[in-house]
Amino acid sequence: MTLRKKAASITMAIVAIMLFITTAIASPPKYVFFFLGDGMSNTQIQATEAYLATKYAVDNGLETGPKAGELNSAYLLNPNNRLKMTQMPVAGMQTTYDSFALMTDSASSATAFASGVKTRSAVIGMDNTMTTSYKSVAQLAREHGMKVGIISSVPLNHATPAAYYASVANRNLYNSIATQMTQTGYEFFGGGGLISPEGPAQDGDTNNNIWNMLGDAGYTVLNDRTSIMELKNNPKDKVVCINPWLQDGQAMPYAIDRPETNLSLAEMTDVAINVLSGNTGTNGNGFFLMVEGGKIDWACHANDAVAVIGDMIDFDNAVSTALEFYKRYPDDTLIVVTGDHETGGMTIGHATTGYKAYYDKLLGQKNSFVYFNENQWPEYKEKYSQAVCENSDTLNAANSMITLIQNAFGLNWEELSTYQQDRLSWAWYHSICGYDKNDSKNAHLYGGYEPITVSITHILNEQASIGWTSYAHTGVPVPLFAQGSDAGTFSGFYDNTDIAKKLASIMDIADELPIVK
């Protein structure tokens, strides 16, 4: 007789008793966290864990594996090198396509998991004919007396956060979205800034001064680290916390570019928890907090794996903050972590490396592609463009470029194959002297990004064994992780609209979704 048989009757009796106890005290979770890694799939997750395992080995003076290109599974299995999200007890998967697109956009996907509605790409909080508006789980939570917080590392009126408070026919109606934001009454907004806060983003948009409207609605806008962090000691409802430095398009900087005067996503989450739960305890009716790691997606669009990994770690640290809160209120807290779609066609393998992985190659990249484009490339281009384009003293320019790439990305020219050197040389020339953007080869190779920079990250990434196939979103199903009250509901393989439906049911805020506004 095996242990299983011996234990069966005892276990089953205990389970039955526990179920009775559990059902007796069952009630909806009071504190609900929804973490959304924009562009995050299994690939972004596994690449980050491989990076952490490799960094662990290198930092501790260990070989990454017995042979070159190997990675010891002991480092990968070490919980300290794992993301918190993959260690949560419940996992599920969701299909991400929208009404008509196998590759969803972030507006329609956010509408799906915020309101339970399949819609057309670019539409927020409305059906695919853009005639009916629907309530999000955040709005329903609000109606049930819960406090609400919305955090995003990208602008607060970008598609994902917008789906939690706005209904618009097009995600680019930024002023309209921000106008609806001012009318939410939500207790907390935090992260990036606002797009078009003082006028229409495009034809058909509203023409409001959002800053004035926020003030009129009783909101305080903070944008320095000290004031924002002070909310932990003196929480205050109705605040808009904007990170001091907005790097690109009103977004928080990439985590790997972030100066100490800025806030991490985890710090912003920690502040939000304090605001939503109050200074001395927790809000009586609980809260719903949505946290988006939005720049995972932006880095994936640009095919910059190190920037992706930096923001993945930053995002997971925010999850960690929620898990700390969970420890205090395990019976009343639900944490859900998922992505809205994969971005970039990122993979964990490349034709040039086969079965080998060299994530140590990634450790030399110091900043994101954006940082390089804005802070290092212009000076180089200014200095050498005449020489290169007129074909005079190009050797000096090339050597200077090789040094620059080595310093900024850790990419060693001597280690590159002829094919890689050729691609990099053409990209360098194209970035300096211009190129035909309509040429099909150039469009494929650069995707509209700065040729030299996207070629550097492509080659650096493939050296590590990371491939990319697109500059857009892709259609692969993405994982979901859950922990806490009713988390088991999220096991299985389901559609993204089911996420909103499961949340509404668990939170007891609606009998069924969608609910018309």
Stretch that binds a second copy, among 73-81, 157-165, 272-280, 392-400 (CB under 8 A): 73-81
Q: Is 72 in the site for a second copy (CB under 8 A)?
A: yes
Q: Is 468 in the site for a second copy (CB under 8 A)?
A: yes
For the segment 12-51, give every residue that binds a second copy (CB under 8 A).
12-13, 15-16, 19-20, 23, 26, 28, 41-43, 45-46, 50
Q: Can you list the positions of beta strands (E) in 311-468?
A: 333-339, 342-343
Q: How far is the CB of 302 from a second copy (least distance, A)?
A: 12
Q: Is 101 helix (H, G, I), strand (E, B) or coil?
A: coil
Candidates 252, 257, 67; CA nearest to 152 is: 252
- In the chain the first and final C-alpha atoms are separated, in Å, by 61
Stretch that binds a second copy, among 32-40, 203-211, 243-251, 475-483 (CB under 8 A): 475-483
For the segment 80-109, give every residue that binds a second copy (CB under 8 A).
86-93, 95, 97-103, 105
Q: 172, 199 in Cβ contact below 8 A?
A: no
Nearer to a second copy, 57 or 222 (CB): 57
Q: 120, 128 in Cβ contact below 8 A?
A: yes
Q: Is 441 in the site for a second copy (CB under 8 A)?
A: yes
Candidates 361, 268, 351; CA nearest to 309 is: 361
Stretch that binds a second copy, among 31-39, 69-77, 196-204, 205-213 (CB under 8 A): 69-77
Q: How far is the CB of 4 from a second copy (least distance, A)?
A: 5
- Please list, residue by residue across 197-216, b when 16 or more beta carbons sit within 10 angstroms of its beta carbon and e when fewer do: beeebeeebbebebbebbee
Among the listed residues 76, 213, 387, 398, the single contact to a second copy using CB under 8 A:
76
Among the listed residues 81, 109, 115, 121, the single contact to a second copy using CB under 8 A:
121
Contacts of 340 (CB under 8 A, 6+ apart): 36, 37, 38, 39, 40, 96, 104, 106, 109, 110, 113, 160, 297, 478, 496
Nearer to a second copy, 39 or 192 (CB): 39
- Tell me how far the alpha carbon of residue 318 is from its chain's centroid: 11
Among the listed residues 65, 185, 278, 410, the single contact to a second copy using CB under 8 A:
65
One-letter amino acid for residue 183 of the chain: Q
For the segment 410-439, give every residue that binds a second copy (CB under 8 A).
417-420, 422, 439
- Other Cβ atoms less than 10 A from the Cβ of 442: the count is 17
For the segment 339-378, give every residue that binds a second copy (CB under 8 A).
342, 344-352, 354-357
Nearer to a second copy, 252 or 509 (CB): 509
